[in-house]
Amino acid sequence: MRASLVALTTVISLLLLLSLRGGAQSLQDVPLADGAANSPIVAELFTSQSCSSCPPAEKLFAELADRSDLIVLEWHVDYWDRLVHGRAGAWKDPYSDAEHTKRQRQYNRTLRGTNSVYTPQAVVNGRYETVGSRPGKVSSLLESAPHVTAALTMTRNDKGLRANISALEHPLAQSAEVYRLELLPEQTTAVPRGENRGAVLTSRNIVIAAEQIGVYSGAAATYPVAAPQAGHACAIIVQEMRGGQLGPILSASYC
């Protein structure tokens, strides 16, 4: 009876910890690659210009974008585009994309066990989530998030830009996918309609395109990377896929 009570208490404690951390998933059981401890943490924000509670989150993430230890990404979702806000009407976020909403739903199925979504939502290293406008909570997750597990460096030679990912001591049980993200480094928009009518919004590192450029198995690998368009930037992320769902991010770098 005592053993059963201890076991039950342990389970409840673990569930409580998971709830407090905003939902989490674990990395595959692989050791760190050399130099990986200095790799940046990936902080993603799911947002919309048509969401009245999103501007504080975008302001917070704009500040985070200046940190050298972070890769900060903004994904603009499309489910706010169709909502009419009384006389203010509707506003279609010019950077919204159904694929961004799909990415957010995949995270929520894994991290929260639901297909529902909300904005603003922050996701850290593909492992933890929380409300993106809560500076204390976001800061706590960034401080406690384990670093990515494979060092990634960007180089340029006569053949162009290359992403070089270091080897792990053992192959991954499930291969990860390597993505190149085209980014708009900074954009200011005066919103004429919708819930944020009259507001002037400034966003950083808006994802405007995402393309898979390879698969990473844990062995050292190099991938050619297209240079960003004039006025744009780009980032590389290496992310586990588990049963068709997004897993933890293993490595990342700006181009």
Q: Is the pLDDT of residue 5 over 50?
A: no
Tell me how far the alpha carbon of residue 139 is from its chain's centroid. 15
Q: How far is CA 57 from CA 36, 100, 104, 133, 218, in A?
A: 29, 17, 16, 4, 35
pLDDT digits (tens, 9 = 90+) for 37-67: 557 899 999 999 999 999 999 999 999 999 9
The single-letter code of the amino acid at 196 is N
Q: The pTM is what?
A: 0.86
Nearest to 51 by CA among 73, 74, 72, 76: 76
Two tokens, residue 94: 């010019």
pLDDT digits (tens, 9 = 90+) for 172-191: 888 899 999 999 999 999 99
Contact (Cβ atoms closer than 8 angstroms) between residue 236 and residue 179: yes
Nearest to 65 by CA among 49, 46, 45: 45
Average pLDDT over residues 123-138: 96
- CATH class, domain 27-254, is alpha beta
Average pLDDT over residues 12-20: 38
The single-letter code of the amino acid at 160 is G
pLDDT digits (tens, 9 = 90+) for 99-116: 999 999 999 999 999 999
Two tokens, residue 7: 């076991």
More confident residue, 29 or 212: 212
- What mean pLDDT is reported for the chain? 86
pLDDT digits (tens, 9 = 90+) for 246-255: 999 999 999 9
Q: What angle do CA 30, 102, 211 make, to 5 degrees?
A: 65
| DSSP string across the chain | -HHHHHHHHHHHHHHHHHHHTT---PPPS-PPPTTGGGPPEEEEEEE-TT-TTSHHHHHHHHHHTT-TTEEEEEEE-STTTT---GGG-----TT--HHHHHHHHHHHHHHTS-S---SSEEEETTTEEEETT-HHHHHHHHHHSPPPSS-EEEEEETTEEEEEEPPPSS--SS-EEEEEEEEEEEEEEE--SSTTTT-EEEEEEEEEEEEEEEEE-SS-EEEEEPPPPTT-EEEEEEEEEETTEEEEEEEEEE-
Phi and psi, residue 157, nearest 5°: -135, -165
pLDDT score, position 148: 59
